[in-house]
Structure 1
């Protein structure tokens, strides 16, 4: 039997080498000593929400189908719907690149942390609470619980009601029912929502929403530009909740479903809404475009339905389409590039990331001479009418008319546009943002922006080139049609069989052309049209009077004839292999096999014998002997 100290040593070694127990697939709690790895998840007790590691995926219109990020994140999502929808992301700015070595667990100091076990071991993300949650015996009692509301709470112990940290206090771009959105007046803590960068990048995007001392503020983050504001307190706030309730009650999809509230006391100020139907799925989001939207899940459509948006005009957020773009809020897609500009990154645009905007097709032609202190440019200006003018205009004093204003812009190589209105000259340097078209609803601007372009990109120049190009295309089309007609005529002519001579007479006279045809019973025939008034008539009479009476196995049979006016036609049985002279003298004729050659030679020999009665035999009238190769025809 082993000594006691040896057994204790073996037990200690086994405990050090034992793997960390994983959280169960159906549990909603992660306790100290447990770990959540890739493929594991916590599920709320009602089954509505799940927490785990995920890769963002977006369904975009492309040949490759869905687009998936290469990075991993820890997040919470709706668990029982086919459309993967996250409501909270932990490590927005710290994506995981090596998921196999990454776990979520309660650290030794009581924090919930994403830990990478790569060498060296590092903390990817943590709740960063200060208190060290250990008992007197040194046991960590902290637990993470995914509640039925979708809130991830860090509690002192599984049985404790004390919340040390919760995801509802650190929203991403979504607010769920029961979550407070506002600020603590005593501590100064404020809950801020920030848009994601794109459909597959949950990192910090361009827009944010928060409640500060002045009220609800929507703004562009960098540069900081406030584009929508709702004042706190007073009559405006008292009106907001009734307006929201009226809007929600008027829509059948939200009637009796959502109840918004507003609280403003000495301790805190916040907005919150609750759901009257626990089986329904709703959330409020700050969209990538900078709009606040109320979303409701449609079981019938199996998709999210946006009930309303604020601001109502999607073009209101600053730079929502990126630089050198125009925005038209009447119908999607709202964003488009300016004249002679193209999307800087079409792939980013498909993922709703338009921060790169558009870029010039052709660089401006502008040079500056430092010695002479002069600027030379061949650039032109293209008017964009009925738009809001871009942000940050610079006024030019002394420009008495539009020509002077245009000249002032051309004299600076960094000037990209100008506007002249009511004797006021404004110019813009660098990128142009928030050029929104007049939609007759929220935007009624009648201003005209003159966009600077390279001369080769001028629309009027392209139209002139287009006219000449159209002329060339028309001429080429006419020539093409003419050639096509000639080719068709040639093909029709090729289908006609032209034999110089007749099936049984000397071909040197060239009395007409022979055409291939068919009778109503599908019998293939050869129809000879006789040319020339005098010679044709003579040939016609000779053929009808002789071949019409002859019945011989080796002579072409005259089936019939036609005589109408000066037209003369003779109808023969068709010989598919043509005349013998074609096979003897034409290089492109098909070669005859030896049986055909011997048979043809035998027939010709008999027909050429002066004393032979081969042709004469069984003929009712005398038959002339013809020795020309074109007089002999070969059947199939």
Structure 2
């Protein structure tokens, strides 16, 4: 019996050999300085220390990337203080144990996270780190079957890897969900979680404190979640398991392999889709939900104020300080802010926040009895020692009690309208933190009297000059028109000012679908381009609201909107002037107004990237998705350095029902409309992606997609020829002969552009990438594989016996060159309305 005990003791202390292995057998141990490496070398398991922390944890991380990124942690709440005393073992009961010497204290056990039986397992039981990042304890139950006793995929931490399942399986006692780290150096469960709907509905919710839902994926429709349109990009696809009373979970996989990627629930509460970029040596953000970090419930904690676009996003009001400076430093502001000085009730004061805020999500008390004035409202809050803030909107007094959560700075035109108009919040603070009233001195009264006398004398002396000056100014204003600031730097011009700026519309720059463009100059001499809009029927109030919204959109690759005019049916838009004109005048030979300068390949490539970034901003970064609907070279302007600026964005929002006229004019420019315009299917941002792909082909060839080719005696549709050549590996033959002669183009870049273009013009929206992914592919951050030939192009190329092109009469069916006049583009990206023009 003693001999058997000695054998078991020796067996339980077996250690791994020095060479890298991926498996632990029964009784084997992994020392603190040893690791398991998956068979393909993708993942590694061992002891690590996050950041500068002196605490250690057992975890799994990527093996092949240069930046250590942990995807799973075992002992999240019980860190290792002395790593050299620890080892991981697969016990004779088939459990994974993290033990600390000398007393073999259990810091973590797989039995704590599973419902597996403690009965003696088969001798074939092993623990293996798989190449998908899953740590699996399994045994060969029979010759033909394998029994999984436990796996890390059932117990994820903050990262969702491809192939892992999130949800619940009540039969197996598994509930898999993500929880954020506490901070960058502490992997203990944080404030935020991502969980599947507990009522069996096919959707995931982001929760704060396990209670407050601040974002949801929306319901699964069999292809995507309603609120995650990025799933159509081809990056990944959801794989649901049929939900029933006991089972409801999802997995996902990469539809198009693009390297290392995952979902990660960040410590600030945002769910992030990341992709590893080898050229930059860091993670590239593909998308985040919610898009605005300030929409995460309680991300800045009590009394914290969130500001979108600032770093850090959270700050404390005057008189407050972070409750934990260390936690804020490590990225966790959920603890919020605390008053520097304690309140004394009757002696307190109020701090008026110097920015418009979204009202916090706490209970509000309203009292008609104290709604007479702001002073009365302040007094009512002051005498109630539990009142922490108040708002008076001119007719109603609202008071808050307790801690204020979810305050957020708002743009001036987006102030909280839950109360009438934009409001300012008055926050209760200690008397010492309240703004001091301006001191009143007796000598000031004397100065006031003396100043009044001097002012009276000066007024008498200057009255005549003033009257004359006013008359002159009024006359000049009437002659030149009026220019006033509306929102930020956006200006409102009356129609006389527009006529003055354009010298009575004397210098025409061009005309387009929405009106005529004239060169002009602002009163300070700044050159501008003024588009005189024709025959719009949208209501003036709605028109002004849409223009103000567009005026806030600023991006280096978008033409800036400087001002507008709206007087009845006289409407105009004022833009920055682009001296180098539009892309088509440089790109196409023989066209009207063609420039003698030939754009080099690097300049064309920069134009492609610039337009892609501008579109990605409109689609993904604006508060509301803006679909351009009219991507073509004529709407791409070039600045002084020949950088691309996208013009006419948001026009569908401005012209409303009259946008149908645009579609009619597009018939004259064959090849820019997506197929869904013709079929009447819902039009989304992917319609812009299709048009952008056709634009890329024109940047490569230097001619219209339907222009004549030297290889054929008729007109050919260039994308067909490009798709065929791309699969033949002969992209050099596609390049503009003006560039090919100089041999200055990077063939790999040309091939990449053609691949991206061919992906963009796929027949099905779901097969086209998002513009965010297009930017990454063009910049080389994301890989782009060889695309299939779009079925419409392939059909035309085979049925007509031509590899290099198609006849002119077949262009419209391929490129979407015609469309019913009733089409109306919806900038919300939700549907295509069909209304009478």
- TM-score interval, normalised by the smaller of the two chains: 0.5 to 0.7
Instruction: Provide closer, same or farther for how the CA distance between residues 18 and 124 of structure 1 changes in structure 2, counting only shifts above 3 A.
Output: closer
Give the drift of 1:438: 1.1
Q: Which residue of 2 aligns with 1:96?
A: 80
Is the 8 Å Cα contact of residues 49 and 76 (structure 1) preserved in structure 2?
A: yes
1:415 to 353, 375, 387: 387
Distance, in Å, in 2 between the alignment partners of 1:10 and 1:169 is: 36
Match in the other structure for 1:514:
none
Higher-Rg structure is: 1
Residues 269 and 15 of structure 1, relative CA distance in 2, 3 Å threshold = closer
CA contact (8 A) 1:23 1:29 kept: no
CA distance in 2, matches of 1:338, 1:132: 55
Post-superposition offset of 1:133: 5.3
2:327 aligned with 1:351, yes or no?
no
Q: Please list, as runs of the form range in 1=range in 2, the aligned pairs for 1:189-228 lying within 5 A after superposition.
A: 189-212=174-197, 213=199, 214=201, 215-221=203-209, 224-228=211-215
Distance 2:290 2:6 in 1: 63
Q: Which residue of 1 aligns with 2:370?
A: 399
Matches within 5 A, 1:376-391: 376-391=346-361
> Does the 8 Å CA contact 2:243/2:249 hold for their aligned counterparts?
no
Indicate if the aligned counterparts of 2:231 and 2:237 stay in contact, CA closer than 8 A: no
Unmatched 5+ stretches in structure 2: 441-837
Displacement of 1:302 after TM fit?
0.4
2:279 equivalent among 294, 300, 316: 300
Q: Aligned partners of 1:148 and 1:459: how far apart in 2?
A: 62
TM-score scaled to structure 1, two decimals?
0.61
Which 5+ residue runs of structure 1 have no aligned equivalent? 58-67, 250-255, 367-375, 465-636
Please report how far the alpha carbon of residue 28 of structure 1 lies from its aligned counterpart in structure 2 after TM superposition: 0.7
User: Cα–Cα, structure 1 residues 93 and 400, in superposed 2: closer, same or farther, change >3 Å?
Assistant: same
Change (3 A) 1:245 1:147: farther
Alignment of 1:144 onto 2:133:
no
Q: Out of 107, 119, 134, which is 1:124 matched to?
A: 107
Q: Counterpart of 2:561?
A: none
In the TM superposition, residue 11 of structure 1 has moved relative to its aligned partner by: 11
Distance in 2, Cα, partners of 1:353 & 1:263: 35
Q: How many residues align?
A: 427
1:451 to 407, 427, 430: 427
Q: Secondary structure at the match of 1:404?
A: helix
Distance 1:430 1:48, change over 3 A: same
2:386 and 2:163 map into 1 onto residues whose CA distance is 51
Matches of residues 176-255 of structure 1 in structure 2 within 5 Å? 176-184=161-169, 189-212=174-197, 213=199, 214=201, 215-221=203-209, 224-232=211-219, 237-238=221-222, 240-241=224-225, 244=228, 249=233
In the alignment, is the contact (CA less than 8 A) between 2:356 and 2:415 conserved in 1?
Answer: no
Structure 2 CA distance for aligned equivalents of residues 216 and 435 of structure 1: 25
Deviations 1:277-329 (A, max 9, x none): 66711010111111111000011110001111111110011110122221111
Higher-strand-fraction structure: 1
Q: More helix by proportion, 1 or 2?
A: 2
In the alignment, is the contact (CA less than 8 A) between 2:271 and 2:289 conserved in 1?
Answer: yes
Aligned equivalents of 1:10, 1:165: Cα separation in 2: 29
Q: Indicate if the aligned counterparts of 2:307 and 2:408 stay in contact, CA closer than 8 A.
A: yes
1:418-471 residue CA offsets vs partner (Å, 9 max, x unmatched):
12346443322332211011147987653321111233323465999xxxxxxx
* Structure 2: distance between partners of 1:190 and 1:441: 44
| Cα distance, 1:396–1:390 mapped onto 2, change above 3 Å | same
**TM-score (normalizing by structure 2):** 0.47
What's the offset of the Cα at 1:381? Answer: 3.5
2:400 to 428, 436, 453: 428
Q: Deviations over 1:154-191 (max 9, x none)?
A: 10259963211111111111100111222336567431
The answer as to whether partners of 1:396 and 1:405 remain within 8 angstroms in 2 is no
Q: Which of 237, 244, 267 is the equivalent residue of 1:259? A: 237
Distance, in Å, in 2 between the alignment partners of 1:304 and 1:429 is 42
Kindly tell me: are residues 440 and 83 of structure 1, through their superposed partners in 2, closer, same or farther at Cα, counting changes over 3 Å? Answer: farther
The residue matched to 1:202 in structure 2 has which SS?
A: strand
